[in-house]
Amino acid sequence: MEYEKLEQINNNEVFVPQIDIDYPAEPDKRILSVVPECEVVLDENYPYLDKSFKFNFMMNLQYLGIFVLVFILNPLKYGLKIKGKKNLKPYKKILKKQGAITVSNHVYRWDFLGVLQAVKYRKMYFPTLHDNVIGSDRFMVRYAGGIPLPESFSAMKKFNEALDEVVAKGHWLHVFPESCRWDYYQPIRPFKRGAFTFAQKYNRPVIPMAYSYREPKGLEKFFTGGKPCFTLNIGTPIFPDTSLSRKECVSKLRSECHKAMVELAGIKQNCWQAEGD
């Protein structure tokens, strides 16, 4: 599809990283390439939700490492700060009871772990691209809760069944609606409809979150190597409008979440539209 790009207007206090990265003209084009280290066939026989003892043991072990080590290292290595937790308190009971779908911009390697740290949920699952389960990070991605997206219709049925089971058990989902990672990119890119289709299908609230940036100061310069620091801004949950048709509900959710994330990122006028497919 064609994208119209507007003039970007930020709030005066917003810090915009000056990073030497050549971002593509198309907002959903991947920058990072993965070197394949194995071959994985994502067909109807692939264990999208692996229930084996080995997998669950390794997943629990990795989550232990995340809660014990990563939650300490993320603020040090990337200067992570989390703001807006108070926005979730009025919804604590309903979020605990039925779960939620979190969405955020995709801007650094540990951004999913930052979201996990923000909600302090025991386990979260997230759709991931095929490349991410054939590269060097494949085990970390899978044990963190990554469920790879297949390409065939028959395999997509198995993928959906895996998500159905995850949600039925009360687990949270996280989706990067921008689809691919652009490190230190400041505007909010267009969104694919997947996250909002899930929200409508499962009748789950969407929690918009947006990473913004800070200039490193003091010891932050030492730990981050002088690179910009990250702030994760949490918004108010947005609930599906069940009075609308499926298509209208998904469209409204996407538009509202994009607008919320633009505001959370400190942007007055975003350069990209909400629709990304």
- Bridge partners, residue 146, by sequence: 126
Is the distance from CB of 78 to CB of 110 less than 8 angstroms?
A: yes
DSSP state of 245: -
Which residues in the chain show pLDDT less than 70?
none
pLDDT score at 86: 96
Task: State residue 154's pLDDT score.
Answer: 86
As a whole number, the mean pLDDT across the chain is: 95
Global pTM? 0.95
Closest CA to 59 of 145, 147, 166, 172: 145
Q: Show the DSSP H helices in the chain as ranges.
A: 53-65, 71-77, 92-98, 111-119, 138-144, 153-168, 194-202, 219-224, 246-264
pLDDT of residue 13: 87
Residue 221 is predicted with a pLDDT of 93
Q: Please report the domains of the chain, with CATH numbers, ordered by start residue.
A: 52-269 (3.40.1130)
Place of tokens 């026989």: 45
Read off the amino acid at residue 63.
Y
